[in-house]
Amino acid sequence: MLTHLTIKNYALIDELEVDFTSGFSVITGETGAGKSILLGGLSLVLGKRADLSVIKDTSKKCIVEAVFDISNYNLQSVFNDNDIDYDAISHIRREILPSGKSRAFINDTPVLLDVMHKISSALIDIHSQHQTLKLSEIDFQMNLLDSLSGNFDLLKIFSNKLKTFRALNTELQKLNENALTLAKEYDYNLFLLNELKSVDLENLKLSDLETEYKDLNNAEELSLLISEAKEILDAENYGVISNLNNLKFKLNKLSTLSESFNELKSRVESTFIELDDLSFEFESKQDHFISNPKRLDDLGSLLTSINNLLHKHQRSTVEELIITRDQLENSVQQTSNSENLIKQCEKNIESVNAELKSLTKQLDKNRQAVIPNLTARLEEILSNLGMTNARFKISIIPQENYNDYGNSKLEFHFSANKGSNFGTLDKVASGGELSRIMLAVKSILSAYKRLPTIMFDEIDSGVSGEVSNKMGNIMEEMSQHMQVFAITHLPQIAAKGKSHFKVFKYDEHEITKTQLRPLSKDDRIQEIAQMLAGSNISNSAVEHAKQLLN
């Protein structure tokens, strides 16, 4: 509830500070005394836009601060979501600087205006004829029915299921789109995959194949050259080995005659052994380089296939081709699996949809159960407020698609007079009728739901006598469940307030100012007597005022 209000340097207000209590508070004052200024200042902490014209002294900033006891509003999560320190006694402050810049604070934490509006609108509701337009909004109407039917716990379950349902449908759409793309590419990917699988990529080394191909391609020339090399080494009369054998024989004799030839003998023997080994190597090579046309053709075809694959896939190594093959295999496998994924997702959607249908059925059943009582209560309250022929028709129409409240549309029709056609509130109800309907709705809601502080702004316009008395009774009854303010010009309503405040103007140093002050018991008698009789207060008006207060 609103416990304290401070307004500084706003319009005709120099500085105003006032404390409020729980229950029903009334605010009165002569026409033009500044009640609209008070509401304008309060609207700043509700996040409304402001400009320099509201600043009284343009050399100073304008400040409006409201203090709320929010211990019973369960707003901790809202504060946490917006990174604001939660306090059971919260301060909401708005500053308008001389430069025109606006600043907003909640518990001394700077906030954006939309955050201020979100939180403060959960704490105070200024009810005017403009606000009655909410009566025609589907959100307001559904909230009314759900409050009376106790649907909110069920709605939380429904909301979570609906999120799951929508997420599954989004997933199914993506799966279908992916499946369509994969299907278009499937045949080509499968062809490429089979091409790559036709080559045993893991068990080949490209450099070895290229070497073998080159050797086989030159086999005849290599074999001839090897034979000629062997001939140089092994020819019987003029071969290098034969001549070196003769040299070895000579050195054997020389070494027997002189030990000085022993080293030369050893070197020649080493050379002989090396050349003999070289001759053996040539012979082995000659066995290796044997012409094999079939193997040569096979290798040529394999190398051509590999090089074509490297070029086609823009890869430089066999290892990269293996990676490409595995990716293609995964893509082909996904195409095969996508149908199973789609079927499973469709199965999940069907299951959640069945749960949603059951929940919406129960939600509408609960709503349908309270409609007769709601209709009767509204018509009863409105009859007491002078609308004796007011009638309502509230219908729940099932819809094909889900919305935030289930899968139904609410039709809220009204007729104010006998013989009049039923129509939507925004089309057939006048401003005064809408105000009374909203009062009736709020009075019913207050018994079922924790409502924010409500301030009725001259909702009693156009009523008098017994109707105003009944209107006051409704507000007083609502104040048993919530904090209620009424800005009123009717003494019958003013007398019912637990607390009474007066807005008034006064002149100081030829400057008109506005102020708000609480009234004592005697002050209230005089104020209500003046509301009854005008400026010339009679004894009978005073007595009448006392009767009203009692």
pLDDT on residue 244: 79
pLDDT tens, N- to C-terminus, the chain (550 residues): 999 999 999 988 889 999 999 999 999 988 776 788 888 888 899 888 887 788 888 889 999 999 999 988 888 988 998 889 999 999 999 999 988 889 999 999 999 999 999 898 889 888 865 566 677 778 888 988 999 999 999 999 999 999 999 999 999 999 888 888 777 777 777 788 788 888 878 777 877 777 777 877 777 777 788 777 777 877 777 778 777 777 788 888 888 888 888 888 888 888 888 888 887 877 777 666 667 778 777 777 778 788 888 888 888 888 888 888 888 888 777 777 788 889 999 999 999 999 999 999 999 999 999 999 999 999 999 998 889 999 999 999 999 899 999 999 888 899 998 888 899 888 888 877 888 888 899 889 888 877 789 988 888 777 777 888 899 999 999 999 899 999 998 999 999 999 999 999 888 888 888 899 999 999 999 999 999 888 788 899 999 999 999 8
pLDDT on residue 220: 75
pLDDT on residue 287: 66
285's CB contacts (< 8 A; 6+ apart) are 222, 226
Q: Are 482 and 445 in contact (CB under 8 A)?
A: no
**Under DSSP, is residue 512 helix (H, G, I), strand (E, B) or coil?**
strand
DSSP 149-175: HT-HHHHHHHHHHHHHHHHHHHHHHHH
Q: Is 546 exposed, middle or buried (0-12, 13-18, 19+ CB in 10 A)?
A: middle
Q: Are 52 and 96 in contact (CB under 8 A)?
A: yes
Helix residue ranges per DSSP H, 430-464:
431-445
DSSP 64-89: EEEEEE-TTS--HHHHHHTT----SE
pLDDT on residue 317: 84
| pTM for the model | 0.67
